[in-house]
Amino acid sequence: MLRRLLSLAALVAFSLTAQAQTKISPDDIPGEWQLIISLDEELSEADNAIERMAIKAVGGLLDEIDIRLFFEADGVARLGVYAFDTEADVDEDGLSWEITRHGGLVLGESDRFDSGEDTIFFREGDYLVAYEQNEDGKPGARKNLTLHRVDS
């Protein structure tokens, strides 16, 4: 009986994990997305009060910066940064984006933006969540970057 319960629990956990990350279609991407940077994990792992204060200070600055990615259907995204109630500073050169064979979004880099060459985004509900990309192209550990669609 215990073996059946453990097997059932493992099956449910696996199916929830499999459903949590869904593939992305190239048609899902074009439009305006907000980049959200979370420091929750870093804050929970802080060793002392000074480190927690520094992380909270950086978090306070991040609250004043709104980073937008404007994805175009041709595989180019433009980066817009709104900081401290100023007009957007838009990177006209843009950066490339593509959907991998595993259905993940990979962003190129520009002079102003680099999410890391090992970063891949997968859909989780209404969000695109960043993961470390394993050598096989599949997601590994979760990162602290999330994209949320601004337009619909």
**For the chain, domain boundaries:** 23-149
> Which fold, 23-149?
Lipocalin (2.40.128)
Residue 152: predicted pLDDT: 56
In Å, what is the CA distance from 93 to each residue of 6, 96, 108, 141?
53, 10, 12, 30
Residue 140: predicted pLDDT: 75
Question: Would the pLDDT of 7 be above 50?
Answer: no
Question: pLDDT, tens digit, for every residue of 100-118?
Answer: 988 999 988 776 676 767 7
Looking at residue 40, the DSSP 8-state letter turns out to be H
Smallest Cα–Cα separation from 26: which of 75, 67, 91? Answer: 75
Smallest Cα–Cα separation from 118: which of 105, 129, 134? Answer: 134
In this prediction the pTM is 0.71
The Cα–Cα gap between 148 and 56 comes to 22
Q: Please state, for a pLDDT cut of 90, what percent of the chain lies above it.
A: 19
Report which residue type is found at 81: V
